[in-house]
Structure 1
Amino acid sequence: MKITKLLILVCTIALNTVFAQEKAENDPDKPVVTLGEISLLQSKELNKTIPLSIHLPENYDSSKKSYPVLYMLGSDYRARFAMLASTLDYMGEGQIPEMILIGIDLPEGNSILLPTRKNQDTTIPDNHINFFETELIPHVDNNYRTAPFNILYGASNSGFFTVYMLLNKPLLFNSYFASSPSIMHIPKVLQQKIKTGPLKTLSKNRSLHIIYSDDEGLTNHVSEFTRVVEDHKPDSFTYKVDELVNQGHVPAMDFTLFLLALYPDFNPFNPSENLESLDKVTQHFDRLSKRYGYEIKTPISVIFNLGFHTILSKDLIAAEEIFQYSLEVYPEGKESYLGMGLVRKAQGQLENARVMLEKALTIDPDFSLAKRWLQRLKN
């Protein structure tokens, strides 16, 4: 039942967000969602031009935040890239941190990332590792506001490469996501890397998460791989394996499961946390920042939800404190002004409420919540 619900969630996100045909109220030519841009990176390491698909968080241009980066192999599979981009946008509203998504096109097919099968020659995948380390990641860091936290995602043959990257350069990424990885190809290469490679002496925290389905013939290969990992891994390395039931090759909900496992307690509003005050919520995200090694600001959506429920509970002093904090941390955030407008309305300061709501609409003229509350003030 849980798997079915997750699949419905992923499909709903993809359909409602990526393929939405609705237009913004004041700009009928503006799509509701922009998936990003295509750029080109000339690689000396690979001796060719690499197309990149880049998707930035919604408020990237107006914020000053730095963002973790998720690198996706095979973004020329446009439907898959679109689903990943929309999932990041949807979950970035409070379930995970907002992220930059960098897609690496593989127009020759992702089998290019496998070692040569006859003689186990690893020249091509090794060259791609060098491309990531010396060209792509520096290029992204130089051109975008990136936090020191990188994730690599690959599926099928590029899932093999994700595992291969981990075993050769475990420090290059903080976390590795491999969906239905083709680890049945050249298993001896992988096993030898586990036993004698740099993973064995890893001292910094790194993680691998493998997801596959029971109907794609990977069960025995993954079991053997994880057995060898368990026998030789350092304490700083953690791994998770999920075998789904009857979901086919590269399960549709893999990405959602990956992200929820990487940030299992990101959302502070759960029964075990019971964080009912601003101090407790900000302390929660301070702890997450220390754990992940970069600043994770309390999301504006989390602040707004806390403030709104505080207004409903009639604690207007605490609500004002919450939205004053929101204005300090997110002076460019439309939700900060909407929230303070609602506080002023509840306090009976209707003119101040109108000013705040109009400020929210100055930031985003299509902000429907602010429009509705402003109309209520006029009525």
Structure 2
Amino acid sequence: MKTTKLLILTCALSLNTVFAQEKTEKDPDSPRLTEHSEPAVSLGEISSLQSKVLNKTIPLSIHLPANYDSSRKTYPVLYMLGSDYRARFAMLASTLDYMGEGRIPEMILIGIDLPEGNRILLPTRDQDTTIPDNYINFFETELIPYIDNNYRAAPFKVLFGGSNSGFFSVYTLLNNPLLFNGYFASSPSLSNISTELQQKIKSGPLKTLSENRFLHIIYSDDEGLTNHVSEFTRVVADHKPESFTYRVDELINQGHVPAMDFTQFLLALYPDFKPFNFRKNLESLDKVKQHFDRLSKRYGYEIKTPISVIFDLGYVTIRSKNLIAAEEIFQYSLEVYPEEKDSYLGMGLLRQTQGQLENAKVMYEKALTIDPDFSLAKRWLQRL
């Protein structure tokens, strides 16, 4: 498997280059903007996997959490269909990064490019399902094992698809519900073989499902899907097993594959990852640990307490002058996240509050060795 960097440059960087060229051509001596050698945003790697099942090379786009290389954690994996739509892939990657700072667990994003178009995931006009069936087989026997063997993947997987690939997400659930833990379909093309889908709900593998699985459908009222989705969910409600939960959100005037779908899906998938008013409800380290232990049992893999939650709890505890409890919190932070700058920043603040200025300085400097541009550590170090 060959990999190359997948880079997205901001418009400002491109404009800087254009403006610099215009200035040079008009007035070589005038001040000009300079082009930076580093990209503004890096989204990961472009890669590929040779598939025997599909008899072709499958292009992949891979985005890892920011601290993946330095951490020891495992991460749930979100598989996105149609990552050759680069703007969509960039949106998913940046959303995972942003929400992974405390709203949801950090996740690995694996994009499956569909250069032939996502219609390839639909049954043919004569209702032949050979190709979508082969793609399910590709996921099960080739792609997922490859990702599990080459990345620190937790045993929790999610499939995301929009439009025709949204249909494939639903189709995969009904044919192989154990393949993924969660299924997300944005504006799925449920008009395709609707009778066959209903029969799958009534007598297919989903009917005897004993493990927890989750489906979330999101669409807009202005794209002609309301009746198809309503009929589909009516049949699901009548025949679903207790272990299967689903949610349907109809948005207003948001068009095909709504832009806000992904954020809503993630919040529904992890509804109480960071509870509302957590500073009141999780006011001690023991309660924080218990909360994330419960989440780990629910999702079937270890979910560590996010560093942002630990730091916030420690900071509030210092402000409340309970320095003994704050010591326990930041010692726990250093134990769980020895590679995180915030662990040392928090311990530095505690040592400073305790009057141990030399020890505080050591902690701030350690945070800066991890991130030399860490402005908060620089500022607090200067105050010493």
Shift of the 21–289 alpha-carbon distance from structure 1 to 2, 3 Å rule, reads farther
Show the counterpart of 2:175. 168
| In the alignment, structure 1 residue 307 sits paired with structure 2 residue 321 | no
**What letter corresponds to residue 143 of structure 2 in structure 1?**
L
Q: How does 1:203-352 map to 2 (within 5 A)?
A: 203-270=210-277, 274-352=281-359
Deviation sequence 1:243-264 (CA, Å, 0-9, x none): 0111110111100000000110
Is the contact between residue 70 and residue 102 of structure 1 (CA under 8 Å) also seen in structure 2?
yes
| In the alignment, structure 1 residue 64 sits paired with structure 2 residue 93 | no
**SS at 1:309 equivalent:** helix
| In the alignment, structure 1 residue 114 sits paired with structure 2 residue 122 | yes
How many residues are paired up? 355
Give the whole-Å Cα distance in 1 for the aligned partners of 2:191 and 2:104: 32
Is the contact between residue 166 and residue 184 of structure 2 (CA under 8 Å) also seen in structure 1?
yes
Shift of 1:34: 2.2
Is the contact between residue 92 and residue 262 of structure 2 (CA under 8 Å) also seen in structure 1?
yes
Show the counterpart of 1:157. 164
**What letter corresponds to residue 333 of structure 2 in structure 1?**
S
Give the whole-Å Cα distance in 2 for the aligned partners of 1:85 and 1:34: 10
**SS at 2:245 equivalent:** strand
**SS at 1:35 equivalent:** strand
**SS at 1:60 equivalent:** coil
- Structure having greater relative contact order (Cα 8 Å, sep ≥ 6): 1
Is the contact between residue 279 and residue 313 of structure 2 (CA under 8 Å) also seen in structure 1?
no
**What letter corresponds to residue 301 of structure 1 in structure 2?**
S
Deviation sequence 1:136-192 (CA, Å, 0-9, x none): 000100100010000000000000000000000000000000000001122112112
| In the alignment, structure 1 residue 38 sits paired with structure 2 residue 43 | no
**What letter corresponds to residue 307 of structure 1 in structure 2?**
G
Give the whole-Å Cα distance in 1 for the aligned partners of 2:327 and 2:298: 30
| In the alignment, structure 1 residue 359 sits paired with structure 2 residue 366 | yes
| In the alignment, structure 1 residue 376 sits paired with structure 2 residue 383 | yes
Show the counterpart of 2:201. 194
**SS at 1:49 equivalent:** strand
**What letter corresponds to residue 195 of structure 1 in structure 2?**
K
Show the counterpart of 1:10. none
Is the contact between residue 179 and residue 211 of structure 1 (CA under 8 Å) also seen in structure 2?
yes
**What letter corresponds to residue 146 of structure 1 in structure 2?**
A
**SS at 1:252 equivalent:** coil
| In the alignment, structure 1 residue 128 sits paired with structure 2 residue 140 | no
Greater shift in the superposed pair: 219-228 or 28-37: 28-37
Query: % of aligned pairs identical?
Result: 83
**What letter corresponds to residue 376 of structure 1 in structure 2?**
R
Show the counterpart of 2:102. 94
Shift of the 158–18 alpha-carbon distance from structure 1 to 2, 3 Å rule, reads farther
Detail structure 1 runs of 4+ shifted over 2 Å in the superposition. Answer: 17-22, 28-34, 268-273
Is the contact between residue 170 and residue 199 of structure 1 (CA under 8 Å) also seen in structure 2?
yes
**What letter corresponds to residue 328 of structure 2 in structure 1?**
E
Greater shift in the superposed pair: 139-148 or 271-280: 271-280
Greater shift in the superposed pair: 165-174 or 358-367: 358-367
Give the whole-Å Cα distance in 1 for the aligned partners of 2:365 and 2:87: 38
Is the contact between residue 10 and residue 40 of structure 2 (CA under 8 Å) also seen in structure 1?
no
Give the whole-Å Cα distance in 1 for the aligned partners of 2:278 and 2:330: 24
Shift of the 273–153 alpha-carbon distance from structure 1 to 2, 3 Å rule, reads farther
Shift of 1:268: 3.5
**Which of residues 84, 93, 98 is equivalent to 1:85?**
93
**What letter corresponds to residue 54 of structure 2 in structure 1?**
L
Is the contact between residue 268 and residue 281 of structure 1 (CA under 8 Å) also seen in structure 2?
no
Shift of the 278–33 alpha-carbon distance from structure 1 to 2, 3 Å rule, reads farther
Give the whole-Å Cα distance in 2 for the aligned partners of 1:362 and 1:63: 16
**Which of residues 150, 173, 179 is equivalent to 1:143?**
150
Shift of 1:33: 3.8
Is the contact between residue 21 and residue 32 of structure 1 (CA under 8 Å) also seen in structure 2?
no
Shift of the 333–173 alpha-carbon distance from structure 1 to 2, 3 Å rule, reads same
Shift of 1:292: 0.6
- For structure 2, list consecutive stretches of 5 or more residues without a partner in the other structure: 1-7, 14-35
Is the contact between residue 127 and residue 193 of structure 2 (CA under 8 Å) also seen in structure 1?
yes
**SS at 2:258 equivalent:** coil
**SS at 2:215 equivalent:** strand
**What letter corresponds to residue 40 of structure 1 in structure 2?**
S
Give the whole-Å Cα distance in 1 for the aligned partners of 2:382 and 2:11: 27
Is the contact between residue 269 and residue 275 of structure 1 (CA under 8 Å) also seen in structure 2?
no
| In the alignment, structure 1 residue 73 sits paired with structure 2 residue 51 | no
**SS at 2:42 equivalent:** coil
TM-score of the superposed pair, with normalisation by structure 1 = 0.91
Is the contact between residue 21 and residue 31 of structure 1 (CA under 8 Å) also seen in structure 2?
no
**What letter corresponds to residue 350 of structure 1 in structure 2?**
L
Give the whole-Å Cα distance in 1 for the aligned partners of 2:80 and 2:12: 26
**Greater Rg by CA:** 2
Give the whole-Å Cα distance in 1 for the aligned partners of 2:138 and 2:117: 17
